[in-house]
Structures are given as C-alpha cells and as structure tokens.
C-alpha cells in the first residue's frame, strides 16, 4: 500500500515537471522582450546616452532635470487635464447608460444592439479616427463648422468659425471629447457586465420587500458596482496618462495649440525618438517618473475605494 502511494506521488511529481515545458516559451520571450527592456530603460535613465556611442553614467542628473523641467510639468498637466475631462464624460455617460439599462421598472430593450453600436468607435485605429476628425473639424472647410454655421444662420446669428484644433483654448477639450467618444462604449460594457453579474436573488428579494427602484439602485446596484468602477477608472487612468496617438496626430507642431496638448508620452517621444532632439537617457528618466506617478495614483485610488467599502 505504502509503496504504491509513494510511486503515485513520484509519478505525480513527474507530471508536474511537464509544467516547465508548457511555460518555457513564454518565460524566455517574457524575459527578453518584456523584463529586459524595463531594466534597460532603468539603466539608461542613469546615463547620458544619446542614441549612439557608449552610455556614460551621470547618476541622478536626468531625474533632477525632469523634476525641474517646466515643459515636463506642462506636459503632465496637459495629460491630466485632457484625461480628466475625458473620464468625466466617458464614465458619466457609461454610468447613465447602465442606470437606464438596469432599471427594474422600465426594462429597456435592445441592449445587444445599442451596446454594439456604442462600442464601434473603440475599434477604429486612432490614426483613422484622428484624420477623420481632423478633416471634419477643419475650421474653414470642415463639415462640423458648416453645420454649426447653418444653425447660426438659421437663428440669424453671425459668428466667426472656431479653429477647434488650432487654438489652445479648444484643442485639449476637443481631444478629450473624441477620446470619450472612443471609450464610453467600452466602459458601458464593463459596468453592464457588473450589473448582470449581480445575482437576480437580490433584486427579487428587494422587489418582495417593496423597495422602490431608487432604493434598489442605491442599496444594491451601486455598492456592488463599486469594484468595477474602480477597475474601469484605474485602467482608464493608466491608459490616459500614456495618451499619445490622438494628440500626436491631431495637433500640428506649428499650431498655437501644440503646447496645450503635448502629453507626457509625446514629450518622451521627442527625446527618445525624434531626430535632432534625441536624448535617450533623459527620455528614460521621463518614462520612470511617469511610471512612479501612475503607480502612486493607482495606490491612492485603491486605498480610497477600499475605505468607502466598509
């Protein structure tokens, strides 16, 4: 008996060793293409590497420079401002839609088709979206201003056309709105999945107890949705702080708006990859400062949400 148990254990162990075989390709590629670049960037951030030649160590010099670089802080502020406007619209709209579709009294139909349509903008490559809106919003020839102008004329108002993407006052907000347009469907699907994951028993019990729909919403739906709201907000923040494609493609370098929409990653790109301004060491330090900011904000956000949960 005992002998049989030992051999069985031994054989199980052999089986378990097959696990190494299954994870090996992943581990190799992960080490080379994911882990190594992270540490390589860290190393380069302590050097004066210019993209060619040998990197020489300069200690914390790059980090000191990031912290005192007013253009870095401007880029960070631009990023946060654009993301802030975007997340309010994106999550607000997604939340409203979730309330409408989860209402126990109205029982709205057509969730499948609406959800698919709302998600559509998220599928299109940012490059295509950028050129589409750049052309639609062109201040002289764009369709958007044509429609606006037609409305103004109808009411007998005369107004100068607005240069949506060329003016520092508007460009950031325009990009935020387009970004929200691209992402609200995604958030909506996530929130809705959360509602559908809530056990029907809760709702039935509440209905038997005679709870009104707002009570149900406030006491059941909202509290159970909180972790998903947190998840959506954090993923959006991590993505938002890395914003690049839309502002990079939509704002012309020569335009007055460029300085108001240059994001941190655009700033990083300038030093990391653009010819003429390449300072790879400095760009690496920017990457790490950005990472630390993302990390800090995620931790604070998690703490806040956990406390409210009690």
Partner 1 sequence: MSTFDKVKKTVLYVLLILLAVVCMVPFLLTLVNATRSGNEIVTSFTLIPSTHLKENWETVFQFFNLFKGMWNSIKVAVPATLLTAYFSAMTAYGLAMYKFRGNKVLFMGIVIFMMIPGQLSLIGFYNLCTKLHLVNSYLPLIIPAIAAPGTVFFLRQYILSVLPPSLIEAARIDGASEIYSFHRIVLPIMSPGIATMSIMAFIGNWNNYLLPMIILNKNEKFTLPVMMATLKASTDIQRNQGAIYLAVAISIIPILIVFCFCSKYIISSISAGSVKE
Residue showing tokens 């654009």: 82
Residues 74 to 133 in contact with partner 1, rule: CB under 8 A: 93, 97, 100, 105-106, 108, 110, 114-121, 123-128, 131-133
Among 287, 303, 309, CA closest to 66: 287
Name the residue nearer to partner 1 (CB basis): 119 or 202: 119
* Phi, psi values for residue 159, rounded to 5°: -140, 140
Residues 133 to 162 in contact with partner 1, rule: CB under 8 A: 133, 135-136, 138, 140-141, 143, 146-147, 150
Task: For the CB of residue 191, give the shortest distance to partner 1 in the complex, in Å.
Answer: 7
Does 6 interact with partner 1 (rule: CB under 8 A)? no
**Contact, 135 vs 142, CB < 8 A?**
yes
Among 278, 264, 206, CA closest to 74: 264
Task: For the CB of residue 15, give the shortest distance to partner 1 in the complex, in Å.
Answer: 7
Residues 183 to 202 in contact with partner 1, rule: CB under 8 A: 185-186, 189-194, 196-197
Out of 9, 40, 159, 308, the residue judged to bind partner 1 by CB under 8 A: 40
**Dist. CA 244–CA 78, nearest whole Å:** 12
Out of 1, 2, 3, 26, the residue judged to bind partner 1 by CB under 8 A: 26
Dihedral sign of CA atoms 288, 289, 294, 300 in order: positive
CA distances from 245 to 72, 85, 125, 131, 249 (A): 18, 17, 9, 11, 6
Task: For the CB of residue 77, give the shortest distance to partner 1 in the complex, in Å.
Answer: 18
**Dist. CA 44–CA 285, nearest whole Å:** 8
| Segment interacting with partner 1, rule: CB under 8 A, options 79-87, 202-210, 215-223, 277-285 | 277-285
**Dist. CA 297–CA 299, nearest whole Å:** 5
* Phi, psi values for residue 65, rounded to 5°: -65, -40
Site pattern 231..260 for partner 1 (x: CB under 8 A)? xx-----x--xx-xx---x-----------
| Segment interacting with partner 1, rule: CB under 8 A, options 2-10, 22-30, 76-84, 254-262 | 22-30
């Amino acid at each position: 008996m005992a002998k049989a148990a030992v051999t069985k254990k031994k054989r199980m162990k052999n089986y378990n060793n097959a696990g190494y075989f299954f994870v090996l390709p992943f581990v190799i590629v992960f080490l080379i293409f994911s882990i190594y670049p992270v540490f390589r960037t860290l190393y380069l951030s302590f050097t004066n590497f210019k993209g060619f030649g040998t990197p020489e160590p300069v200690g914390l010099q790059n980090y000191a420079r990031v912290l005192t670089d007013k253009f870095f802080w401007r880029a960070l502020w631009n990023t946060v401002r654009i993301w802030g406007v975007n997340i309010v619209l994106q999550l607000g709209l997604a939340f409203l839609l979730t309330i409408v579709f989860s209402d126990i009294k109205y029982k709205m139909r057509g969730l499948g088709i609406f959800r698919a349509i709302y998600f559509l903008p998220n599928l299109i490559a940012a490059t295509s979206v950028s050129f589409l809106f750049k052309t639609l919003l062109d201040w002289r020839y764009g369709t958007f201003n044509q429609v606006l102008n037609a409305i103004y004329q109808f009411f007998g108002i005369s107004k100068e056309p607005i240069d949506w993407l060329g003016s520092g006052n508007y460009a950031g907000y325009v990009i935020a709105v387009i970004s929200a347009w691209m992402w609200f469907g995604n958030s909506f699907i996530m929130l809705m999945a959360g509602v559908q994951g809530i056990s029907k028993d809760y709702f039935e019990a509440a209905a038997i107890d005679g709870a009104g729909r707002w009570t149900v919403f406030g006491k059941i739906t909202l509290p159970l949705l909180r972790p998903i709201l947190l998840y959506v907000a954090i993923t959006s923040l991590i993505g938002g702080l890395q914003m690049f494609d839309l502002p990079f493609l939509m704002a012309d370098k020569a335009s007055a708006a460029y300085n108001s929409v240059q994001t941190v990653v655009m700033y990083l790109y300038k030093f990391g990859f653009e010819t003429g301004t390449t300072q790879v060491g400095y760009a690496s330090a920017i990457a790490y400062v950005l990472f630390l900011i993302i990390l800090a904000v995620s931790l604070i956000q998690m703490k806040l949400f956990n406390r409210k949960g009690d």
